[in-house]
């Protein structure tokens, strides 16, 4: 894994996420746990921080522009150290607040994004198939040919049409809710 290139890592994450994430987790988490525990944190803190780091890492690693300039473990330890330092600063300001009481977005999320929670409820109501198709494409960045094969669509074209149908359903629910709120 240490000689992995950006392209092979991206490919592995896209085609076999569970196995690839497990391999990375197994290798990097003990390093992060040791660091966090040596710097005043608990095993639960280490788990929360590391999982934040994995989310940030995944989003970066599947992007076309990602360049892996160190080993994956080194990268994850670096992200985790930053997150833990931020968490310690936050706790120093709010000493009685627990990490687990905090909202989830990773630290590198732009702070000015509007809240999207109501839309999430409508997404959950779309049904398993539509939800999974939309997440595989828009979040997990899987290519449409892979999605077509995994979801038993006959072709990329048919997967594309289905994707837009699901998006349209989501959009209609949201617009209807917005219209109801406006009246």
Place of tokens 């890492």: 57
DSSP string, 31-42: HHHHHHHHTT--
66 binds another protein (CB under 8 A): no
For another protein, which residue of 6, 11, 51, 73 counts as binding (CB under 8 A)? 51
Distance, in Å, from the CA atom of 72 to the CA atom of 23, rounded to the nearest integer, reads 11
131 binds another protein (CB under 8 A): yes
176 binds another protein (CB under 8 A): no
Assigned token pair, 58: 């995944």
Contact 13, 51 (CB under 8 A): no
Minimum CB distance to another protein, residue 14 (Å): 13
Contact 62, 10 (CB under 8 A): yes
Which CB, 88 or 174, lies closer to another protein? 174
Site for another protein in 7-36 (CB under 8 A): 17-18, 21-22, 25-26, 29
Place of tokens 């120093």: 92
45 CB neighbour count, 10 Å cutoff: 21
Write out the residues near another protein by the rule CB under 8 A.
17-18, 21-22, 25-26, 29, 47, 51, 54-55, 58, 104-106, 113-114, 116-117, 119-120, 122-124, 131, 134-135, 138-140, 160-161, 164-165, 167-168, 170-171, 174-175, 178
């Amino acid at each position: 894994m240490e000689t992995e290139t950006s392209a092979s890592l991206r490919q592995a994450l896209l085609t076999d996420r569970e196995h690839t994430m497990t391999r990375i987790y197994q290798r990097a988490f003990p390093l992060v746990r040791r660091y966090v525990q040596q710097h005043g944190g608990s095993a639960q803190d280490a788990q929360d921080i590391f999982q934040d780091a994995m989310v940030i890492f995944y989003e970066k690693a599947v992007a076309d522009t990602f360049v892996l300039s160190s080993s994956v473990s080194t990268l994850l330890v670096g992200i985790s150290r930053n997150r833990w330092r931020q968490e310690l600063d936050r706790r120093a300001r709010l000493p009685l607040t627990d990490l687990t009481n905090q909202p989830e977005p990773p630290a590198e999320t732009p702070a000015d994004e509007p809240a999207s929670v109501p839309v999430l409820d409508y997404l959950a109501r779309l049904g398993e198939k539509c939800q999974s198709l939309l997440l595989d494409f828009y979040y997990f960045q899987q290519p449409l040919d892979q999605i077509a094969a995994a979801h038993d669509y006959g072709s990329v074209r048919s997967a594309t049409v289905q994707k837009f149908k699901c998006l349209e359903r989501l959009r209609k629910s949201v617009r209807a809710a917005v219209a109801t709120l406006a009246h």
